[in-house]
Structure 1
């Protein structure tokens, strides 16, 4: 119980610190963000929309800094993130984020899970038969691909599969000539547009999981309880999965949980290269357009996602690892 209370307390404190930094950092930027916002929005959105946007950003007339700060905290917690200034003038930021979020979760989230599962399986096989064919070929190959920037791999895939051979589309989330709905044509279009960015992410991320799982397996196989299992005559399958892989997997779970937390931020450059309309693309658009309220909301979203992932990882380790329960 003390372990849980400490972790929850640290989560709340870190979230408060992140919210506070998110409030003050724009105000420490060179120049006056308020004047910049007003200048950029003048003539583009209505006076009421401008007032709503400035209020969500923490600026209200006749309010001191403390009042603005607490009003900002309330808006961030309740999802009242105001309106966009330059990316989509006057559009509610919450609607913009909710519109982009499913594309990022579908592409980056599914690819992250598949890369983890594939890398873990290959790493188990490579570590179990150290020096064998799988261990000699696959880890080395995928570690090399992991060193490649994923946007470079994405551009190579575009050149081969879209520009040269015209096999797959290279931009957008689906064919906008198709009416969205649960139809085979729409679903097929989504999958076709996701194949190349998903392949770029898969190629460049699976190697890390392979290498870490392989090394964990090799370390675990040297433990005394593995030797005891062999001495007792347990089957190789039982030792491999029931003892070695199960314990070797624990360190990887923390990394996997954090990877899921970073899913929400999207693979920014991959989404930009493929013009994939996810959260990462939205962030680049907000930065390029100096849309302060949108940037502020997205940074908050990323922070919360990572903190929740870390907290979930801690609870998962507490559930799976008796040593963590003993320390707690």
Structure 2
């Protein structure tokens, strides 16, 4: 009990410090760049806005030149604690939170589902291939690894050319039909599934190789351990030895990689969303960078950071549950 409490305390302190550092860097980076977002915004309306308007905009965005950097930092924290991420220049000064909320479900739905499926399918397949080492199942590894070496955008373009342009099985772009608007109906859900199927399958194919190879290699290491040999010597069924002993320990290193993948779901697969013109957070981040929309960039980076931290916390919890030695070593 004491070790568990110390483990939780150590991890809590670490993640709180990491969160503070990430937010501080997120605050400082735009202010260290040449110029500032207000200047970039004012240049679009040169001659149309008065100096008073510029001062009002700087005050709105917490970039008033008469305010010290320390006070801006405190004001930034105050806004964050109230859930205010600022306003987006490239979206008519719409609150950043509202802008991100529009794109976030699309990235989570597409990339999230693809990431979870690729992890589950790849891990299970890798465990079986590792268990049956030396059999015909080994051919799965080079095939899936080959697809993992092909860049996402090439797979996306090939998929569009074959399954959309030639065969006409799937739409080539967007998240739903043009002229439609998001609504909770069977017709709209069908459109979302049809438009998301091709990018999801593409991400799945491109991601499987890494999960299969990683799990297979860990299985080969675990199968030489004494506890696996003892379990087999006791006459336990192969399925129980495979999943209860070998796979349970072999999957531990996979969890860290999966945690990072889960965290970056929020950022989406930028290139893939660009190829399929999918309205996710990845494409939004690219558009915000091109438009020099610093408040939106800050908001997106902050959301991505929080997602990665939360995913790592979940990975630590999973490690502690599956391997009690983790709690003891950390404590």
Q: Same fold (TM over 0.5)?
A: yes
Number of aligned pairs? 326
Whole-angstrom distance in 2 between the partners of 1:108 and 1:73: 30
Shift of 1:30: 2.4
Task: Please name the residue that 2:107 is paired with.
Answer: 104
Task: Please name the residue that 2:185 is paired with.
Answer: 183
1:23 aligned to 2:23?
Answer: no
Gaps of 5+ in 1: none
1:115 aligned to 2:118?
Answer: yes
Shift of 1:50: 7.2
- Aligned match of 1:287 in 289, 298, 310? 289
1:132 aligned to 2:135?
Answer: yes
Give yes or no for contact 1:267–1:280 (8 Å, CA) kept in 2: yes
Whole-angstrom distance in 1 between the partners of 2:209 and 2:124: 12
Give yes or no for contact 1:111–1:202 (8 Å, CA) kept in 2: yes
Q: Over the residues paired in the alignment, what is the CA RMSD in angstroms?
A: 2.2
Task: Please name the residue that 1:161 is paired with.
Answer: 163
Shift of 1:93: 1.2
Give yes or no for contact 1:82–1:93 (8 Å, CA) kept in 2: yes
CA, structure 1 residues 44+21, in 2 after alignment: closer, same or farther (shift >3 Å)?
A: farther
Q: Give the structure-2-normalised TM-score.
A: 0.92
Whole-angstrom distance in 1 between the partners of 2:60 and 2:16: 22
Whole-angstrom distance in 2 between the partners of 1:56 and 1:24: 18
Give yes or no for contact 2:219–2:246 (8 Å, CA) kept in 1: yes
Whole-angstrom distance in 2 between the partners of 1:303 and 1:44: 37
Give yes or no for contact 1:45–1:89 (8 Å, CA) kept in 2: no
Shift of 1:96: 0.8
Where do 1:1-328 residues align within 5 Å?
1-40=5-44, 54-55=58-59, 57-60=61-64, 62-86=66-90, 88-135=91-138, 137-327=139-329, 328=331
Give yes or no for contact 1:254–1:310 (8 Å, CA) kept in 2: yes
Gaps of 5+ in 2: none
Give yes or no for contact 1:101–1:264 (8 Å, CA) kept in 2: yes
